[in-house]
Amino acid sequence: MVSLPKIRYFTRKEISHHNMPDDLWVSFMGRVYDLTDLCNREKGNVLLKPILDVGGTDISHWFDKVNRDVRRYVDPETHCLIPYCPNGRFLHIPPPYPDSSWANDFGCPWWKNENFQVGFLSQKTCRINIVNSLTSQEQIIEVCSEEQIQDILERYLPYNAHAASYTWKYQGKNLDMVKTLEENGIKDFDEEFYQLRMDDNTYLQTIHLYFNDDLTVA
């Protein structure tokens, strides 16, 4: 049986860290793209600059929500339909006027190339408090609402390499590691806090870890 590739979700903060030419990510229309290879391949190309300028950010406003293609508008001078480029013309966008030097043999434009996609942008993130009952250490981490508990475990590994050797519990009940926080009954109170004008940092949902005896190998 062929296993499907794992769906990965990213927070806006995670994407923002990838903002350099040798490590450049962007997000748009709910998806996350790693354009590092594109930047390396087109290094020195002036049409790369608008993309470099938006590294680590969301550029959904560049694209049409219906067809996921670059937005277009009617040029007031030529009355022609041309691509919308708020940061200036970028890679794989044709010139506004006929140009014999324009080469359109690049194949699939980068924004339609699924090989660049590395995951999805989380539609909602939240912060949770993870308490290690063995050491009494606490760690607050930002997670994606779409993630299963086992994905959150992976996020927690930098703080505890043996996290898989613990039973994860919420209010005394074992968590189902292949379900999300919500599916495990862990509610997100951000909206309620907003309506009550409360600081959402005053109360965080807490997950407790209970050590099992069988340490995993780091």
Q: Within this chain, do residues 104 and 19 fall inside the same structural domain, yes or no?
A: yes
Q: So what's the pLDDT on residue 104?
A: 82
Residue that finishes a domain, picked among 59, 91, 121: 121
Q: Within this chain, do residues 86 and 154 fall inside the same structural domain, yes or no?
A: no
CA distances from 102 to 4, 49, 116, 121 (A): 40, 18, 24, 34
Total Cβ atoms within 10 A of residue 175: 22
CA distances from 18 to 14, 34, 200 (A): 8, 9, 27
C-alpha of 69 from chain center: 20
**pLDDT per residue of the chain (218 residues) written in tens, 0 to 9:** 545 567 899 999 999 999 999 999 999 999 999 999 999 999 999 999 999 999 999 999 999 999 999 999 998 888 888 899 999 999 999 887 777 788 888 889 999 999 999 999 999 998 999 999 999 999 999 999 999 999 999 999 999 999 999 999 999 999 999 999 999 999 876 666 666 565 656 678 899 999 997 554 44
146 part of a folded domain: yes
Q: So what's the pLDDT on residue 189?
A: 63
188 part of a folded domain: yes
Q: Within this chain, do residues 44 and 135 fall inside the same structural domain, yes or no?
A: no
Range of the domain at 207: 125-211
Please give the structure tokens belonging to residue 29: 């229309």
CATH number at residue 63: 3.10.120.10
Q: So what's the pLDDT on residue 77?
A: 83
Q: So what's the pLDDT on residue 200?
A: 58
Q: Within this chain, do residues 169 and 82 fall inside the same structural domain, yes or no?
A: no
The count of domains in the chain is 2
Residue that finishes a domain, picked among 121, 148, 165: 121
86 part of a folded domain: yes
Q: So what's the pLDDT on residue 38?
A: 96
**CB-side neighbour CA atoms (13 Å) of 87:** 17
Q: So what's the pLDDT on residue 10?
A: 97
**CB-side neighbour CA atoms (13 Å) of 81:** 3
Residue that finishes a domain, picked among 121, 155, 183: 121
Phi, psi of 41 (to 5 degrees): -70, -35
Q: Within this chain, do residues 28 and 96 fall inside the same structural domain, yes or no?
A: yes
DSSP 32-54: EEE-HHHHHHTTT-GGGHHHHHT
Q: Within this chain, do residues 93 and 171 fall inside the same structural domain, yes or no?
A: no
Q: At 192, which helix (H) or strand (E)?
A: helix 190-195
| Cβ–Cβ under 8 Å, residues 121 and 27 | yes
Q: Within this chain, do residues 73 and 117 fall inside the same structural domain, yes or no?
A: yes
Give the Cα separation of 99 and 185 in Å (integer).
60
Q: Within this chain, do residues 116 and 130 fall inside the same structural domain, yes or no?
A: no
CATH number at residue 167: 3.10.20.90
Q: Within this chain, do residues 113 and 143 fall inside the same structural domain, yes or no?
A: no
